[in-house]
Amino acid sequence: MLTEGTVAPDFTLSDKDGNAVTLSAFRGRRVVVYFYPKDNTPGCTRQACAFAGAYEDFKALDTVVIGISRDSVASHVKFAEKYGLPFILLSDPELQAIQGFGVWQEKKNYGKVTMGVVRSTFVISPDGIIEKVFPKAKPDTNAAEILDYLRG
């Protein structure tokens, strides 16, 4: 997993509307990139809804919020519509950003070892440097922790 002080790897992925979104296009603004395992699962839904609930606070801090998973564009459309998610959701089926940030890791579930996305959040400074990492982010508290960090 990438660490604080590292240059955030650039990526271009499709959003829920099929538009190409490139990380470097947000230079000059702070960006919160959060990686999550799967749309419409309990933890991921709680995390997404927490970001949605805090969205105006992120906007007031001129901070872009981007959620990334392996889910398809079509899945993101349904997820965003069902829960009223106002922030950017990106589809990364080829693991471009997921592997670039080092969040594709071994996971143990009921004794079985598989590869998957480790729920993690990165705060990227206006100049493209990772300034804060929240590894193994907790779905219910992640958005609030990031706001606390951003407010200093």
136 burial class (0-12, 13-18, 19+ CB within 10 angstroms)? Answer: exposed
CB 66 within 8 A of CB 33: yes
Exactly one of 21, 44, 85, 146 is catalytic; which is it?
A: 44
Query: What gap in Å lies between CA 41 and CA 22, rounded to an integer?
Result: 26
Query: What gap in Å lies between CA 100 and CA 2, rounded to an integer?
Result: 8
What contacts 66, CB < 8 A, 6 or more positions away? 21, 23, 31, 32, 33, 34, 87, 88, 89, 90
Comparing CA positions, the residue from 66, 68, 79, 70 lying closest to residue 115 is 70
Residue 44 designated active-site: yes
Beta bridge partners of 90: 15, 68
Comparing CA positions, the residue from 126, 128, 123 lying closest to residue 149 is 123
Residues with active-site annotation: 44
